[in-house]
Structure 1
């Protein structure tokens, strides 16, 4: 559901933040901090879109960053850090996650609105292709619970998650939709391992933590992080993977960016970034470049996370 709160005087529309919004309203900052990673450092502001609540983010081969706004349903492009955001398209029904198909076209999840609350029943969300030059948005598959997270396999198979539901959908290369590919409560974000054998997801509200799901056997999953105590309220969100298939996870409430080094082992790359929603690695040799880690948030801001630099990492693209 889109819940609107005020954070430092800026209106923020948050999908998937009923719990988060309540905690903020009560003045609860969330978890005890994770231990800092070696070399952890403050984040650097790279861009901002006043009044926006950013949900999806990705970078193309030219180092241009794309992000979606829950408030307006628009997709923005930012050509380089420090430059202004330019709206390139508007997504009917609400703009959610972003990803790239193997043919290089930009994909967006639709249905980022109050419908996600009953998405498992209505299955009103879809995936669309975006022409980044004309702004045309063309649906390619429907009948999904939601698309808070999108991950695309090497063969073009798409996985879509719903942090307010229990269904993870699968769209085959021929656009056949299996809306019940996996049952996994509160899966948020989506990232495939380099060999496409595992789908990594955050667990935002139900049994909070981070897991990976077997692509060949979606009934089998492995938990990487189980949160307890005050950390239960950290609200892990849209994750990415580095070149070693380590999950990098932002948290809405505690405001940290975690690196998962192994089962039950994680540290904080940076802190002080409440309302974080999603992460991506850059691409290309300039702009939002390869190896650099970027965070987008419901506060409308994009930050670079210097401690997350990974020379071998790329955004989730072909």
Structure 2
């Protein structure tokens, strides 16, 4: 398979394991047929979540249903002489279960009582039902797998209507397994385990299927098993033989891969948690449940693809920045890959360019200037964007010129950037482009400050603050990251007491600095402290060093200080420069030597 972009790879973590009191390794008919005659204590499957947030799983060889609460505590709900697999809720307290031995069964989760729902088809036993899904009209779709495979492609897919009519939809599937509907219920997806693929079939208005095709092809010793659909319409495929969960876009391209422990068997999956956005995965042979959070596209609806291209671009960029501010660089990258992909489909050079400009911005703030220049060159290959200034685009996101000036400032080419920005500001004033003007004035203030024109830099920053403070416009400041913090701190020291006289809303700058993870002033410690002078650590930098000495990593520090990981990295760069340290270990050692640690 050729992929334009590699998928994001994430690791699932252990949520809970089957307690020892429920483990008794032994041979069963099911393990003899499906696990090579090994003695096993469980084989977990069929995850489903109730309205209270409890997770239910089946244990096939031992005929058991368990309930697992949010804290990971296990409770036996039901046990009978069966081989339960897939499960779905029919009502608040009743599960419909595919039982390999007995057909479809109903389980009351309050009492543990079990009763038949559908045991046979026209007096003929099923091969061995496996999994099921329900639509909004009450139809039940289920797979009848048995021991079918490429040697015996006679597995079946059924639909059971609310009236009790059983429709045979497919009868030629080599090992039908997991089954799920698309969000609009127009397509049915079936995992074909022995064929190592997933089939997709349109559902016609009269209930029949047609034009069934192969949607996704996997590889490895054991093919796709359980399926799930996220709120964005992405298909999730549990692949036991690889210990993977594939997350597929509408073109069946893997955009994310969730990995379990090597050699384990990830068989099925379901969404749960308070917002139904935590993914639970059965690690069947280990008798464990894995989980991973924040997988789902939780900031943009799937409908974003239908809006105007500029709105779509802006939404993706802002969503990416929110993810980055939360410290989730994987999600930030995912947003940009989505935008680039959508831009290529439309096609929209602006969308593709914006994705690369955001990469250039973050690389510049990270100090990775070569990477920033490379990203900027990639952006410039997608159209003559400077003309878009006349169209009013780029208020919310960067254009190449803005990215170029930001990079010039980071490279120390302050005078060059200052001259260019002064001309751009004159154009923005003439066009009354107020939001663009704010971004340009911030960059201009930074360029002037770097060119040793400190007073003029503060004047320019005052103009920007006057423009922003009364409307509460803070994002443009946040977008420039730590490089702007020192200048804002100097402004607060020099002019903060008279901010109202300067036309700046009182409290705006201290509040802004707090959101940027810095104190309202950059006052140095008293001269008697060991690190007094221009290289003194700020109070926030001392906080970072203190946490560093306790062994905290960047993400933990960011969470405790309520800032982004990017801000923590910037603090660490400044701390290392001030202390003359070459590593995190040296930072702590020097800080301790100077008496900076409690």
| Alpha-carbon distance change, 86 to 100 in structure 1, aligned in 2, over 3 angstroms | same
Contact 2:11 2:258 in 1 (8 A): yes
Contact 1:269 1:308 in 2 (8 A): no
Q: Give the CA deviation at 1:102.
A: 5.8
Q: Give the CA deviation at 1:232.
A: 4.4
Task: State the partner residue of 2:162.
Answer: 173
Structure 1 residue 147 corresponds to structure 2 residue 135: no
Note the 1:172-191 alignment, pairs <5 A.
172-178=161-167, 180-183=168-171, 184-191=173-180
Contact 2:42 2:59 in 1 (8 A): yes
Note the 1:11-50 alignment, pairs <5 A.
37-38=7-8, 40-49=9-18, 50=23
Deviations 1:35-75 (A, max 9, x none): 8633x322111111153211211000110000000121100
Contact 1:145 1:169 in 2 (8 A): no
Contact 2:194 2:222 in 1 (8 A): no
Moved more, 208-217 or 65-74: 208-217
Greater percentage in strand: 1
CA RMSD across the alignment:
2.2
Task: State the partner residue of 2:144.
Answer: 162
Matched residue SS, 1:130: strand
> Given the alignment, which residue of 15, 34, 55 partners 1:65?
55
Deviations 1:230-272 (A, max 9, x none): x243521101011122110111111111011133411443223
Matched residue SS, 2:81: coil
Note the 1:191-206 alignment, pairs <5 A.
191-206=180-195
Structure 1 residue 277 corresponds to structure 2 residue 267: yes
Contact 1:140 1:175 in 2 (8 A): no
Contact 1:224 1:260 in 2 (8 A): no
Note the 1:239-318 alignment, pairs <5 A.
239-273=227-261, 274-282=264-272, 285=274, 290-298=276-284, 299-306=286-293, 308-311=295-298
Gaps in structure 1 of 5+ consecutive residues: 1-34, 113-124, 313-318
Task: State the partner residue of 1:5.
Answer: none
Contact 1:102 1:156 in 2 (8 A): no
Note the 1:209-220 alignment, pairs <5 A.
209-216=197-204, 217-220=208-211
Contact 1:200 1:210 in 2 (8 A): yes
Contact 2:142 2:159 in 1 (8 A): yes
| Alpha-carbon distance change, 78 to 97 in structure 1, aligned in 2, over 3 angstroms | same
Structure 1: distance between partners of 2:50 and 2:7: 28
Greater percentage in helix: 2
Structure 2: distance between partners of 1:213 and 1:177: 18
User: Which protein, 1 or 2, shows the higher relative CO under an 8 Å CA cutoff with sep ≥ 6?
Assistant: 1
Gaps in structure 2 of 5+ consecutive residues: 24-40, 121-125, 149-154, 300-598
Structure 2: distance between partners of 1:104 and 1:76: 14
Moved more, 62-71 or 181-190: 181-190
Calculate the TM-score normalised by the size of structure 2.
0.40
**Which has the higher Rg, Structure 1 or Structure 2?**
2
Task: State the partner residue of 1:105.
Answer: 94
| Alpha-carbon distance change, 105 to 195 in structure 1, aligned in 2, over 3 angstroms | farther
Structure 2: distance between partners of 1:222 and 1:104: 36
Contact 2:220 2:242 in 1 (8 A): no
Structure 2: distance between partners of 1:138 and 1:189: 23
Structure 1: distance between partners of 2:65 and 2:192: 26
Structure 1 residue 54 corresponds to structure 2 residue 62: no
Contact 1:42 1:271 in 2 (8 A): yes
Q: How many equivalent pairs are there?
A: 255
> Given the alignment, which residue of 105, 115, 129 partners 2:106?
129
Structure 2: distance between partners of 1:242 and 1:107: 22
Structure 1: distance between partners of 2:227 and 2:201: 14
Structure 1: distance between partners of 2:111 and 2:51: 18
Deviations 1:113-157 (A, max 9, x none): xxxxxxxxxxxx421221100001121122244331111111111
Contact 1:200 1:212 in 2 (8 A): yes
Contact 1:53 1:71 in 2 (8 A): yes
